[in-house]
Structure 1
């Protein structure tokens, strides 16, 4: 809330309000009763009130199902013979406080496993049976990610749902991961992507990716209140693994966000969807990135997640300690972060090729 020559004593009566010096604005709780009371008080005081909030601004939130609703809706679509085992499976996921995204990721592969093995054999299979099943789905040319999600979903049942030290838990062998390195763009290529578009919202989203290293879902889940202007930080609420963290708010992004706020006036979500009640969609964001990549004439196969890889690698190139990068990325295991040490040029560029050493002071024997 901002104004000129207004009676600040009125707003000082509001509990939990604070003044944002940088933008010269008062921040008040998102409560319709408080807003209406302030409007009435200022109107009586002779002030002219300009309300920029949409009529139903206080209903702006993700339509996230409760755990109970998620369970009920999922079981409604389930065949009768699978309901008992899936209800127990879902109850255990809820007890472990797994996110609904993780629950969905686990349930699909687990159902296929139960249907293939047979509900009557599910508790008596051997580790060899599991190996055969994993070999079968691997032969279907599924992605490496799906293969590991399926293994995790199955192991969750035997390890955490049954909790009886089943033979599968003791002898199961996780599929070997492909040692693929992430695709990295150079600083110059990233710069071309950032400069490819002119729509202020799209540009701001691209800058947020590269300046923060956040995941796509995390960026689209940012709320207006998650921008900590005075601390130059962005608050990441409920990231992967339901973990909160903070990341730096880059000076350039901070300046860009001010222009963005002036034009779009986001109410609840930082990047709002078309109806302004829900966040911008993943599909729309992917299309924005795809367009920028095409205009920037980048021929590599990249996605929005590539910007996260670039963020980490370019920090390593600049000498940032890998432990700080781990914290910024929200990795629980340092091994995940260490993959970027294989693509950084911080040390590689210091290595002299034996060919260069051999040819010092010599010219190649070509005409």
Structure 2
């Protein structure tokens, strides 16, 4: 059984006369009502659509525990997906039944769970970081440098607003991070000048948008209704705006969104290739490297936890495992 429906099948569900289009629209409405991100919305809708297709396009209200258990078990047994992927599918289906359909599913004891792997994160050495950043330039270089220099997550950097950069205190405020939490992290002094130039560029784009009748940034949690003038204020604009305006999928408004993360991913991959780095490197690898290098420098793990925005220090402790490798760990008996 296939777990990835083709475009034709998806179009039939979206455009046909079956209940699925109305259901998926309701899923999107509830997700937005509860302030889920657009990325989470896309993932949840994808899993729900896949669940409907696998079960012969039956309406989820006509299915239940047995079908959900079967779907999740097949993902693990036949699809051989990772535990995180299976948990993502489970979260999407539980949201569908509980939040959208108002149906409480009993605990699904019969689900065959994908085995959760314990892996240490990929970390670049300081010398490798230097080589990679040395082969990047422009905005991708600044974004990658901020990821490594602040420990922020990729979307936290891309969604950074001008008002949250404090050059006087060399500080960045991260708003609405993972788990809906705010926190503060350092602003590397070596990036201050480049970041100021980026803000000046964003200001010029904003002024041009205002002259053309646009310039209203997206604000979360109905802040635009509470503060009608705020969306057009310079402080609410993205530090890294997109080159062109586009339609907001939430309400169809034309506005300027943030920089495309795909551009950074391609630039980072190209820089690693030129630098001869064979490790699997992503934007998150720079965050891992930030945490590991701080611990190597002797900083307290609680401080690193706060900078990363981890809820539990146990999450931060994964980097202590990385410290036990190579030259910073136990001396090999062969070397004695």
Provide the residue aligned with 1:294 in structure 2.
Answer: 273
Superposition pairs for residues 17-56 of structure 1, below 5 Å? none
Deviations 1:286-339 (A, max 9, x none): 122122222322121211221111111112222333333232222334443332
Matched, 1:180 2:119: yes
Match of residue 135, structure 1, among 70, 73, 77: 73
How much is the aligned-residue C-alpha RMSD, in angstroms?
A: 3.3
Deviations 1:209-232 (A, max 9, x none): 111111222211122222111222
Deviations 1:218-276 (A, max 9, x none): 21112222211122211222333343322211121224324555677664322233237
Closer/same/farther in 2, CA of residues 185 and 103 from structure 1, 3 Å limit: same
Matched, 1:248 2:183: no
Provide the residue aligned with 2:161 in structure 1.
Answer: 223
Output the CA distance in 2 between the equivalents of 1:341 and 1:179: 14
- Is the Cα–Cα contact under 8 Å of residues 147 and 286 in structure 2 kept in the other structure? yes
Provide the residue aligned with 1:270 in structure 2.
Answer: 239
Provide the residue aligned with 2:96 in structure 1.
Answer: 157
CA apart distance, 1:170: 6.3
Closer/same/farther in 2, CA of residues 294 and 347 from structure 1, 3 Å limit: closer
- Is the Cα–Cα contact under 8 Å of residues 317 and 345 in structure 1 kept in the other structure? no
**Could you list the runs of 5+ residues in structure 1 that have no partner in the other structure?**
1-74, 360-367
Output the CA distance in 2 between the equivalents of 1:347 and 1:78: 58
Give the alignment's TM-score, normalised by structure 1.
0.65
Q: How many residues align?
A: 281
Output the CA distance in 1 between the equivalents of 2:191 and 2:291: 17
CA apart distance, 1:352: 3.5
- Is the Cα–Cα contact under 8 Å of residues 182 and 309 in structure 1 kept in the other structure? yes
- Is the Cα–Cα contact under 8 Å of residues 80 and 114 in structure 2 kept in the other structure? no
Output the CA distance in 2 between the equivalents of 1:79 and 1:182: 47
CA apart distance, 1:166: 2.5
Give the alignment's TM-score, normalised by structure 2.
0.70
**Could you list the runs of 5+ residues in structure 2 that have no partner in the other structure?**
1-12, 207-236, 246-255
Closer/same/farther in 2, CA of residues 312 and 163 from structure 1, 3 Å limit: farther
CA apart distance, 1:120: 5.5
